[in-house]
């Protein structure tokens, strides 16, 4: 089946980190690789650059279109894009997935959209494509929210969460034509890597733990090292909780160095209390990249403030983490 996977142009980038993080659509690349493995023909288009929707719809002639909606700020653009897709192809099956769609699908429950993806796209999209190709109803596919004459309803949930090593590495080749446009802060071109998914903490403002039901899944060391080796010199690791398991983290750093994988620049995201309690990890990782930045969540300068957002860590840990990071020549973002 021909499938078009679309990264929309969010339009308004005045909020958030959009202008500084113009990154590859990694989630769509994972979905595309899973679709290829199932025998389908996906094409990824990034509408932030180059040709527009009409060109790609005419060129690829998809039977299934998937749109990613990663952030709540993108709802309006996704609704508009879905309406355009429907106008161009009244019969195409239109699926919307991504973090925002799964966490809060309500704004996307419109006539133009057939279904919303509520779980891992690498599992749901191939199952949906198989069902459509076989003429089965999408109601038979788990983890969807489908449009019916009575409104949107959920199909049955998926069972166990899939082990990340069963998810093939992303189809980066499908976005190579955009590679020189992707940048992160001052580094260009840039690559995104995911080594783990989810978070067991419970910060009140965060939807990551809620979507993942406080689970935390990790790729094996060998798969992570292969992915690092396949990527270019500037890398953003999208994990929300880098360095969560010290033994695995140490093993990855050592395996990267053994293989001679060294980056010009790395950016990772972690918690202050995690870093404050594992200074040896900072030392182990530091020479994996020439320049190395850590993106910390520093939500409050008081213990009361941190308690108010259920951070489950004291300000003392924030101070210690920054001191340690600076002492080991990390940049703090």
Contact yes or no for 33/230 (Cβ under 8 A)? no
Residue count, binding to ligand SF4 (CB under 6 A): 11
In whole angstroms, give the CA distance from residue 288 to residue 272.
20
Residues from 184 through 243 that contact ligand SF4 (CB under 6 A): 199, 201-203, 206, 208-209, 240-241
Q: Is 271 in the site for ligand SF4 (CB under 6 A)?
A: yes
Q: How far is the CB of 152 from ligand SF4 (least distance, A)?
A: 27
Query: How far is residue 212 from each of residues 103, 122, 198, 272, 322, measured CA to CA in Å?
Result: 10, 15, 5, 21, 28
Q: How far is the CB of 160 from ligand SF4 (least distance, A)?
A: 21
Residue 251: phi and psi, rounded to 5, are -60, -40
**According to DSSP H, which parts of the chain are helical?**
26-37, 53-60, 75-88, 99-103, 121-133, 208-211, 221-230, 246-258, 272-276, 279-286, 303-308, 315-327
Q: How far is the CB of 203 from ligand SF4 (least distance, A)?
A: 3
Q: How far is the CB of 20 from ligand SF4 (least distance, A)?
A: 19
By C-beta, is 232 or 297 nearer to ligand SF4? Answer: 297
Residues 113-132 as x/- pattern, contact with ligand SF4 by CB under 6 A: --------------------
In whole angstroms, give the CA distance from residue 329 to residue 292.
8
Instruction: Return the SS3 of 22.
Output: strand
Residues from 156 through 175 that contact ligand SF4 (CB under 6 A): none
Residues 272-301 as x/- pattern, contact with ligand SF4 by CB under 6 A: -------------------------x----
In whole angstroms, give the CA distance from residue 93 to residue 78.
15
By C-beta, is 38 or 72 nearer to ligand SF4? Answer: 72
Q: How far is the CB of 210 from ligand SF4 (least distance, A)?
A: 9
Q: How far is the CB of 274 from ligand SF4 (least distance, A)?
A: 9
By C-beta, is 202 or 326 nearer to ligand SF4? Answer: 202
By C-beta, is 100 or 199 nearer to ligand SF4? Answer: 199
Tell me the DSSP string of 207-272.
Answer: SHHHHTTT-EEE--HHHHHHHHHHS-SEEEE--SSTT-SHHHHHHHHHHHHHTT--EEEEEEEE-H
Contact yes or no for 294/281 (Cβ under 8 A)? no
Residues 240-259 as x/- pattern, contact with ligand SF4 by CB under 6 A: xx------------------
Q: How far is the CB of 271 from ligand SF4 (least distance, A)?
A: 5
Angle between helix 279-286 and helix 315-327 axes, rounded to 10 deg: 30
Instruction: Return the SS3 of 288.
Output: coil
What's the chain's length in residues? 333
Q: How far is the CB of 270 from ligand SF4 (least distance, A)?
A: 9
Residues 61-100 as x/- pattern, contact with ligand SF4 by CB under 6 A: ----------------------------------------
How far does Cα 81 stand from its chain's mean position?
20
By C-beta, is 114 or 240 nearer to ligand SF4? Answer: 240
By C-beta, is 114 or 273 nearer to ligand SF4? Answer: 273
Q: How far is the CB of 106 from ligand SF4 (least distance, A)?
A: 22
By C-beta, is 85 or 199 nearer to ligand SF4? Answer: 199
In whole angstroms, give the CA distance from residue 124 to residue 106.
19
Query: How far is residue 88 from each of residues 4, 8, 191, 306, measured CA to CA in Å?
Result: 13, 16, 32, 49
Which residues would be at the binding site for ligand SF4 (CB under 6 A)? 199, 201-203, 206, 208-209, 240-241, 271, 297
């Amino acid at each position: 089946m021909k499938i078009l996977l679309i990264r929309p142009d969010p339009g308004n980038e005045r909020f958030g980190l959009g202008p500084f993080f113009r990154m590859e659509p990694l989630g769509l690349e994972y979905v595309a690789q899973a679709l290829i493995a199932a025998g389908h023909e996906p094409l990824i288009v990034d509408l932030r650059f180059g040709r527009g929707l009409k060109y790609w719809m005419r060129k690829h002639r998809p039977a299934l279109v998937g749109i990613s909606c990663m952030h709540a700020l993108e709802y309006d653009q996704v609704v508009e894009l879905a309406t355009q897709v429907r106008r161009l192809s009244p019969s195409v099956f239109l699926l919307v997935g991504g973090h925002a769609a799964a966490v809060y699908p309500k704004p996307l429950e419109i006539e133009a959209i057939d279904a919303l993806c509520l779980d891992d796209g690498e599992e749901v999209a191939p199952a949906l494509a198989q069902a459509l190709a076989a003429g089965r109803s999408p109601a038979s596919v788990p983890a969807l929210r489908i449009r019916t004459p009575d409104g949107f309803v959920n199909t049955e949930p998926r069972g166990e969460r899939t082990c990340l090593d069963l998810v093939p590495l992303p189809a980066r080749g499908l976005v190579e034509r955009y590679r020189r446009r992707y940048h992160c802060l001052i580094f260009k071109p840039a690559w995104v890597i995911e080594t783990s998914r989810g978070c067991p903490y419970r910060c009140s403002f965060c939807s990551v733990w809620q979507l993942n039901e406080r689970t935390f899944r990790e790729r094996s060391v060998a798969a992570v090292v292969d992915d690092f080796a396949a990527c270019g010199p500037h890398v953003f690791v999208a994990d929300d909780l880098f360095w969560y398991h010290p033994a695995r983290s140490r093993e990855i750093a050592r395996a990267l160095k053994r293989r001679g994988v060294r980056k010009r620049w790395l950016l990772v995201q972690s918690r202050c209390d995690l870093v404050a309690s594992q200074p040896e990890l900072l030392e182990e990782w530091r020479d994996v990249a020439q320049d190395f930045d850590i993106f910390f969540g520093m939500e409050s300068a008081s213990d009361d403030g941190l308690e108010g957002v259920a951070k489950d860590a004291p300000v003392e840990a924030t101070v210690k983490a920054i001191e340690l990071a600076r002492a080991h020549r990390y940049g703090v973002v």
